[in-house]
Amino acid sequence: MEQQTGLRAAYLSAATTSGASVDDAPIRQDYEQTGAWGLLTSIDLHTCDGATIRSADEIRRFVVELCERIDMKRFGDCTVVDFGEDERVAGFSMVQLIETSCISAHFANETNTTYLDIFSCKYYNPYAAAEFAKEFFKASDYALTYTLRK
């Protein structure tokens, strides 16, 4: 029996300028028409500014500004922890609960890559989140995937 997963993928390269408006109408339409329970977006940001991703204060500031931009209400404090014995995975990890689920990320020191996940049962524009993150962390480009949760 075939199962529908709801997985969709999109990639926006460095050719997309920061702050560019990307139409999320097809995603919003799928979200509404399928009666999705939530939206999960995974954003891999490449060649980020090393100083920014190694600063707990900057990561916390990012979370506050991201939540404002995608209209999410933070629940409690943002947790930011620096760990990892293996240099390949060493860096900060972040978790922020939001009223409609959570936002998490890992910041890999070795590659200056940010792995950001946003899950919410309230719709938000995944492209707006990705473009803001690209600008904030001064990334060269990003890969974005999203899943409609049912």
pLDDT by residue (tens digit) across 58-76?
999 999 999 999 999 999 9
What CATH number is associated with residue 49?
Answer: 3.60.90.10
* Structural domain harbouring 46: 41-149
Say whether pLDDT at 8 is over 70: no
Let me know if residue 12 belongs to a domain.
no
What are the φ and ψ backbone dihedral angles of 121, each rounded to 5 degrees?
-85, 0
The whole-number average pLDDT for the span 45-62 is 98
Report percent pLDDT > 90 for the chain. 79
Let me know if residue 78 belongs to a domain.
yes
Q: What is the pLDDT of residues 107-128, one digit of tens each?
A: 999 999 999 999 999 999 999 9
Let me know if residue 134 belongs to a domain.
yes
Let me know if residue 117 belongs to a domain.
yes
Displacement of CA 121 from its chain's centroid (Å): 15
pTM of the model: 0.89
Nearest Cα neighbor of 114 from 38, 52, 46 is 46
Per the CB < 8 A criterion, the answer to whether 134 and 114 are in contact is: no
Cβ-based neighbours of 16, under 8 Å, separated by 6 or more: 22, 131, 141
Let me know if residue 84 belongs to a domain.
yes
| Domain count for the chain | 1
Say whether pLDDT at 91 is over 90: yes
Let me know if residue 18 belongs to a domain.
no
Let me know if residue 16 belongs to a domain.
no
Let me know if residue 61 belongs to a domain.
yes
